[in-house]
Amino acid sequence: MAYTRDDGMMSPVQLASIMLDAAIACVGHYSSRDEYKGFRKTAVGFEVTSSSRKR
């Protein structure tokens, strides 16, 4: 994929990596063994549901 700064595009892999790093910095947890089920907005942020539990 080619882009310029003016396009405002980034690769999905790059975006996912940045978002994961930000979640971990905010005391989020990550396990490559969990299956993502969904998320919902709460009063204090977001709640992510995985195959093992809510996070």
Write the secondary structure of the chain as one string of H (helix), E (strand) and C (coil): CCCCHHHCCCCHHHHHHHHHHHHHHCCCCCCCCCCEEEEEECCCCEEEEECCCEC
Say what the pTM is: 0.46
- Residue 46 is which amino acid? F
Residue range 21-38: mean pLDDT, rounded? 80
Residue ranges per structural domain of the chain = 10-50
Residue range 33-53: mean pLDDT, rounded? 82
The CB-side HSE value for 9 (13 A sphere, CA atoms) comes to: 6
C-alpha Rg value of the chain to the nearest Å: 14
Residue range 13-34: mean pLDDT, rounded? 80
